[in-house]
Amino acid sequence: MEMFDHIGLAPRIDELRERCPGNRFHFRELTLDEQRTPTLDFGRLPGTQYNYYGKVNQNDLDRALRASLAANHALYPEYGVEYLDSVQDGDAVRVRLRHGGEEGTVEEVTVPWLVGTDGSRSSVRAGLGLAFEQREGASMSMSMVDARLEGFRGDRNWVNYYVSEKGFMLVTGLPGGKFRLYLAGELEKLLQDAPPQKAFQQGLDFFDTGARIAEMDWSSTWEIRKIVGETYSKGRVILCGDATHVHSPAGGQGMNACMQDAFNLGWKLALLIQRRAQPGVLESYGAERRPIAQQVTAGADRMHQILFNASIPVAERFKLTQDPAWHDEAILRISALSHNYRGVDGTLGSVELPASAPLPGDRAPDCVLSEQPPRMRLYDALRHPGFTLLVVPESSEQVYAAYAECASQLRRAFGHLVRTLLVTPVRVPGIDPDELLLDPLQQVQATYGGAANQLILVRPDLYIGFRGTLGETLGLQAYVGKWVPAARLGP
C-alpha cells in the first residue's frame, strides 16, 4: 500500500480492497479459548498508516494499475503478447515477441534493457541459462477454491488458518461476498477421489467451521517450491519478482516481495536509461534484493512449520506462536516493514542515535505531521521520483544558514535529483516555503529518534540512505555521488 501510495494509487486501492485485520490460528486438536487463540494483529504495526491486509481482486488491481499508467504516463501495456527469446547486442537487447498465439505474427523489437517479470517459469530467465532448482526439502502441493459459503461460524474479515495433524485449511472472506479456501496436507488428498466441492466441504466439516459451500467458482492446485535465484541480472537483462524467487505462500508475502523488487529497481533503471547512473547501480539491485528474498523465504519457512509441517505435533506448533517476540517479529516481517538494506547500502555519519532509531538501510518510517485538514503525513512530502533530504533544525539563525548552504551545494552537485526540506514546527523567514515542511508536533524528530540538526537522506524507494550531522555535507554528497556523478562536489 505504501508503494501504491507513492504513485498516488492508494486511495483507489482503498476503495477496491476489503480490510483484513490479520491472521487467526485455530488448532483443531487443542481446546483454546478466545484469549489463547493466537492471532497476528496487523493493527499493531508501527510507523505506517496501512496497518492491515488489503484483500483485492487481482482483476480490479490490474485495471487500477492500467488506469493509472494511462492517466499519468500515457502507457498501455498489451495483453496476449508472448516473449519468445532475446539476444544481447552491445548497448541493446533484441527481443522476439509473438502476437496472437501459436499461429500469430512475430515482431522483433530492440530495447536498451529487458526486465523479465514473467513469473516462476520465466522464459527470460531460461534464456539467460540460469538454474532455478529447489536444493533442499520436498515441494508440496496446495489447492484452492473461491466459493459462496453459508453458515460460516468464524470471522470472515480475518484470514483464518485451521491447523491439524491431518492438514491445513484457510478460510477468509473476499471483496464481493465470496470466500477463498485453501487446503493442504493429508486433507488435500481428498481431492484425488472427490470433486473439489465435496473435498473442500469435507475440510470445512473436519474443522467444524459450520460452513456449507453453496456455490463454487474455480479451483486450482499448485506446487509450493522454495528457490532463490543466484543472479538477478546479466548484462542488460534483469529478473524481477517470482522470476527470481519463489517460496511458501504461508503468510502471503510473495506479492509484496515482488513489488518491492520492482520498486527497488525502478529508480535505478530510470537513472540507467537517462545515462546518469554510476557504474554498479544495477548490481546494487541484486545485492539488496537477494538477501531480502532469502529473509522472506526463511520467514515463510517458519510460518510453514506452524501451518503445514505434519511431522511436528500440533501442540508443538502452537508453542511456536507463544514466544513473546513471535507476534511483532512476524507482522513486521510479513508486512515487509522490517526488511532492510543495512550492511549493503547506507552511510552513517558521526551521529549518536538511540537503539530504536531507524538507521541507514532501513525503511524510512512514516508519521502524521498534521491531523488538521489538509491532513499531512511525512510520506506526502516524499512522493516524488528523487531523493529527499530532511533537516530537522534546532531553531537558530546559524542552523538555518547551514541548511541553506547544504541545500545549495546539493543543487549545484545534483540539480533536481535531491529535494531538500527543512522540517520545522513554525515558518522560518528567509527559507523558500517550498523547502519548508511544517511539523507542529515534532513527529519527525520523535519517529527518527531525536533527529535535531541532522541530515537524513531518504532514497527514491523510501529507504534511508544517509544519516549524519549538519556538518557532514561532504559525506552526504559522497553518498549521493555513489549513485549519480556530481556536477560539482564540495562547497
Ligand X SMILES: Cc1cc2nc3c(=O)[nH]c(=O)nc-3n(C[C@H](O)[C@H](O)[C@H](O)COP(=O)(O)OP(=O)(O)OC[C@H]3O[C@@H](n4cnc5c(N)ncnc54)[C@H](O)[C@@H]3O)c2cc1C
Residue 136 CB, shortest distance to ligand X, in Å, is 20
The region of 248-256, 285-293, 336-344, 423-431 touching ligand X under the rule CB under 6 A is 248-256
- The amino acid that residue 360 corresponds to is P
By beta-carbon proximity to ligand X, the closer residue of 120 and 309 is 120
The region of 65-73, 111-119, 347-355, 389-397 touching ligand X under the rule CB under 6 A is 111-119
Does 266 contact ligand X by CB under 6 A? Answer: no
By beta-carbon proximity to ligand X, the closer residue of 69 and 314 is 69
Which one of 7, 12, 68, 83 is in contact with ligand X (CB under 6 A)? 83
- For residues 328, 330, 332, 334, the Cα torsion angle rounded to the nearest 10 degrees is -160
Closest C-alpha among 268, 209, 213, 196 to residue 238: 268
Does 258 contact ligand X by CB under 6 A? Answer: yes
Does 119 contact ligand X by CB under 6 A? Answer: yes
Which one of 255, 281, 359, 452 is in contact with ligand X (CB under 6 A)? 255
The region of 3-11, 149-157, 255-263, 373-381 touching ligand X under the rule CB under 6 A is 255-263
By beta-carbon proximity to ligand X, the closer residue of 249 and 346 is 249
Mask of contacts with ligand X, 227-246, x by CB under 6 A? --------------xxx---
By beta-carbon proximity to ligand X, the closer residue of 82 and 301 is 82
Closest C-alpha among 457, 452, 448 to residue 47: 448
Does 256 contact ligand X by CB under 6 A? Answer: yes
Closest C-alpha among 19, 22, 20, 18 to residue 39: 22
Can you tell me the distance from the alpha carbon of 260 to that of 289, in angstroms, rounded to the nearest whole number? Answer: 8
Does 477 contact ligand X by CB under 6 A? Answer: no
Residue 104: CB atoms within 10 Å: 13
Which one of 249, 346, 349, 449 is in contact with ligand X (CB under 6 A)? 249
- For residues 431, 436, 442, 447, the Cα torsion angle rounded to the nearest 10 degrees is -130
Closest C-alpha among 136, 175, 129, 183 to residue 156: 175
For ligand X, the nearest residue by Cβ is: 241
- CA distance readout (Å), 118 to 83, 123, 125, 240, 241: 9, 7, 9, 8, 8
Can you tell me the distance from the alpha carbon of 420 to that of 393, in angstroms, rounded to the nearest whole number? Answer: 13
Bridge pairing between strands 454-458 and 387-391? antiparallel
Residues forming the site for ligand X (CB under 6 A): 82-83, 117-119, 123, 144, 222, 241-243, 249, 252-256, 258
